[in-house]
Structure 1
Amino acid sequence: MKSGHDAVRQLQYLPAVGAAYGVEALSFAALRAMDADGRRTRPQRPDFHVFALVASGGGAHEADFQDYRLEAGSAVWIRPGMVHRWSDVDACDGPMILFQPGFAPAEAAAPVCWRLEGQQLSLALLAAEHLGREHEAAVRAPRLASPPLLAHLLAALILRALPDRRALAGGSGGPGGLRGPGEPGRRDDRRLEVFRAYQAAVEEHFTGRHHVADYARRLGYDARTLTRATRAATGTGAKTFLDQRILLEAKRLLAHTGLPVGACARRLGFRDAGNFTTFFRRQTGVPPATWRAAYGATRVAVRD
């Protein structure tokens, strides 16, 4: 889906010369060096993944209307399409990995930001360092380059860093299917597969299809099957998952564009502004115009 968000910088995956392997190893220091004018502090929407670990220092990050404090041990995973900004990472140090969709195993519902401690942090930083060294070697000596190896090292890093390692069980393609003793069996794998199909369909069609039954027919599943699979993966039902995705895009449009409420409604597939307002009020407790005004006032207060 094209967002058309006027105030959000759209970022495309453009690796450095010689680094076109679907993944690129950077760091917070490299980000600051490449961004001397501080564009990182303004809203941006990448079409790629960003996975970062804070080895030392601290700062702040904002992703889709949630503020996160960063400290030593913080892990951040920005997915394609998220509107985010590095509010304050001038004092952060640690690895930052950029990678294209499909390069790493799919995940069900990993958080945006969480904290690693002790040995888990040490091992995650070690995994990131290994990936960084292999990436550097691939850039300096292309004959040594191995995208499958880089993909496996990235998968190992994510598996090591995730708060719940089961979230990546059963991933398809490349390094997918990594599983250890005690991780989900066939029944859980099947539910995860169903959820991923539903998740992908929602992402593609949520602006035009607002009913779970539509997705069930398209995917060939019973609506109850989608609900069970979604609840197992995310803790919420299929309808709630769909509504939350529509609501998130509504907030993005209201916060980051000057579109009238009626135009936002049309972009999101509502028949008219009244239906959109009813939906938005049911989800948030306030009408769209009120939420937009409050969000704008909050941003001004933060800047002041």
Structure 2
Amino acid sequence: MSEKSIPVERMRSEVALAEPYIIRISSLYDARGIHDVSRPHRLNFSALIYITEGEGVHYIDHQRYTVRTGTLLTLGRNQIHSFAKNRSVDGYVLPFNCTFLSSASNDPYFDVMIAALSHINCLPSIGDDIDHLFSTMAAEFASTSEFKVEIIRGLLRSIMLKSVVPAFKAHYDDAPPVVTSNEFYRLKHFVDSHFSDRPSSLDIALALGKSVKQLDKLAKSHAGESVKELVDGRVLLEAKRLLAFSQYSIADIAAQLGFNEATNMTKFFKRHTDVSPKDFRQLCRMGLRQK
């Protein structure tokens, strides 16, 4: 991997793709070292981080969060995060493949849980009922029960549906409704996988076997945006991540994101943020991160 790029952390085994694991924050620091855990890195999976003692800070994308006993952090796939350079907290890290959340192919809650993971990154203080659910789930990882995986899935879904999803729906007017299919997840997954190709609405419709009208209706009903706006939003998010955390030049970033010229990316970036890529990068390096 190029030294200019953002490190990618993947699930540690094929088994972990189907069966999540849990680790103490203190054990993570001991196993990987301060330099490794405090270096911004992109997750190729989802994760919950629950603080059980202490007070400190945690970084997710362009935000710095103060964390303390009772704080729950959530991370969606492709988000960038880092632990503090000086460990002052302990708790649990639960990495999992996002598909682990699904109870069935037509799970009515899957889309909204996935959306909530990457939008609600910090719940400053969860209640005793959620603390109990997390403690029960952490203990279940030591179980020898033949139902262990399903019990953990159920507890994880309960934590999501009792805390993270309600927070998402309370803070975002465009929170997706409860639906009976995972069609929006398929659309989001395609955009996540192909955004750097700058696919048109027609390209995506053909790939997913839908009409442009059907896809735009799906996107509008779940995110309040058109398919083009979903693609533009993902390109913008990646531009911000690369500007903030990589050492690539602005011209290199423009090329990676499918722009013919760096000036085209600059116009695109300024249109959406009112600042230039150069100024955004400078603000991030000064610690003045923006959303």
Q: Which structure would you say has the larger RCO, counting Cα contacts within 8 Å and 6 or more residues apart?
A: 2
The 3-state SS of whatever aligns with 1:84 is: strand
TM-score of the pair, normalised by structure 2: 0.77
Alignment-derived partner of residue 127 in structure 1: 136
The 3-state SS of whatever aligns with 1:189 is: coil
Contact 2:244 2:281 in 1 (8 A): yes
How many Å apart are 1:43 and its aligned residue?
0.9
Alignment pair present for 1:208 and 2:217: no
Q: Provide the identity percentage.
A: 24
Alignment pair present for 1:285 and 2:283: no
Q: How many residues align?
A: 268
Question: Matches of 1:61 and 1:155 in 2, distance apart?
Answer: 27
Residue identity opposite 1:197 in structure 2 = R
Deviation digits for residues 25-47 of structure 1 (CA, Å, limit 9, x no counterpart): 21122223223444211111232
The 3-state SS of whatever aligns with 1:298 is: coil
- The unaligned stretches of length 5 or more in structure 2 are 103-109, 168-176
Alignment pair present for 1:80 and 2:77: yes
Deviation digits for residues 18-66 of structure 1 (CA, Å, limit 9, x no counterpart): 9896321211222232234442111112323321211232221111112
Question: Matches of 1:214 and 1:49 in 2, distance apart?
Answer: 28
Alignment pair present for 1:14 and 2:12: yes
TM-score of the pair, normalised by structure 1: 0.74
Match of 1:45 among 21, 28, 42: 42
Deviation digits for residues 138-165 of structure 1 (CA, Å, limit 9, x no counterpart): xxxxxx6x5x732541342242244255
Alignment-derived partner of residue 23 in structure 2: 26
The 3-state SS of whatever aligns with 1:129 is: helix
Deviation digits for residues 41-98 of structure 1 (CA, Å, limit 9, x no counterpart): 1111232332121123222111111222212221112233222101267232322212
How many Å apart are 1:280 and its aligned residue?
0.8
CA 1:88/1:30 → structure 2, altered by over 3 Å: closer, same or farther?
same
Question: Matches of 2:247 and 2:131 in 1, distance apart?
Answer: 45
Contact 2:76 2:114 in 1 (8 A): no
CA RMSD between the two structures: 3.3
Question: Matches of 2:269 and 2:42 in 1, distance apart?
Answer: 23
Counterparts of residues 107-122 of structure 1 (less than 5 Å): 107-110=113-116, 111-122=120-131
Match of 1:295 among 261, 281, 284: 284
How many Å apart are 1:281 and its aligned residue?
0.9
